[in-house]
Amino acid sequence: MKPDLSIIIATLGFDSLNGTLKSIINNKNNSNIEVLIIGNVKEELIGEYKKLKFIKHLPCSFEKGDLSKKRNLGFEKAKADVVAYIDDDVNITRDWIKNGLRHFNNPKVGMVSGPGIMPKKADFSIELFGTTMSSLGSGPIRNRYSGGKKLEIDNHGDKIIGCNMFIRRKVYSEIGGFNPEIIPAEEIDFAARIIKKGYKIYIDPQVYLIHFARSDIKRFFRQIFRFGRSKINTIRRRTTPLKMIYLLPLVTLIFFPILLIFSLFSSFLLRISISLLLLYLIFDIIAVFDSLVRTHRLISILLIFTIPLTHLAYSLGEVCELFSIKTRID
């Protein structure tokens, strides 16, 4: 019998895959699903899971466009009319399958996405970076990690999160899958093409899963850096609208150092520089206070340091993408 949902996990073989698979088993709730693990994985990590009939493993790796090619391979092997993509660092929740599938009774819906909420308890660094991602300091992307209050329609494809996507099989076939030449922001390009075909994309806060943030500062910095790259990439391709809020980190990184240099020779410019720094500090403090009130996590106090780090990584990513600069961070 054909499954109602094919869940595809494009993996690099991280140990966190174990938790992802456990969450699927615990929250399957008698749903008729199949799970396809795409990528090279240690046998001791998934050996027991492969004994279950609904879980299959396809070993593979690609030199370029690895994630997109793994996702496309998974689609080729999937049997259901709706395909869901998740990462190997998430846990699905109790009603995630039901809440995701219910939207596809509407033939105009091509894709459904939802937030990746941080876990209630986690290691120090995961909790810190997860709290940072869901804070005011993360700007428009915070809803991907904190969730909204009501169902939304994504008109541009830039509200989705790549680790949580339900896609109608017919739509996937029509647009030709993920483009492995687009790195990063391949999922935003994919979503934009769905919209151009006339289908709707829903962002449903009830279709949420638990998303574990990066576990060390290097991986976190690299993630945010790639977000900055992807934003300029999608603006250049016109899949994301041009908004000042997207370019503010880029403009700040380029022009503020120039302002500081000239302020050495002008008391007026020095006062402007100091005022801007004070305004930024006030914003940082407001973001910390908001996080404390909303999450009740004392770790939010450390956002006074991680929010500036986030903005630095994002703006560097934007600058490098704008000027086509390759770095070791990539």
* Domain at 5-216, CATH homologous superfamily: Spore Coat Polysaccharide Biosynthesis Protein SpsA; Chain A (3.90.550.10)
User: Does pLDDT of 3 surpass 90?
Assistant: yes
pLDDT for position 141: 85
Q: How confident is the prediction for the chain on average, in pLDDT? A: 94
Per-residue pLDDT band at 116 (split at 50, 70, 90): very high
pLDDT tens sequence across 138-186: 998 898 998 778 999 999 998 999 999 999 999 999 999 999 988 878 9
User: Does pLDDT of 330 surpass 80?
Assistant: no
Q: What does the pLDDT average to over 57-68?
A: 94
All structural domains of the chain with their residue ranges: 5-216, 235-322
**Which of 7-21, 57-71, 231-245, 314-328 shows the lowest mean pLDDT across its residues?**
231-245
Q: Within 13 Å, how many C-alpha atoms sit on residue 330's CB side?
A: 15
pLDDT tens sequence across 201-255: 999 999 999 999 998 999 999 999 999 999 999 898 888 888 888 889 999 999 9
pLDDT for position 115: 96
pLDDT for position 242: 85
pLDDT tens sequence across 305-326: 999 999 999 999 999 999 999 8
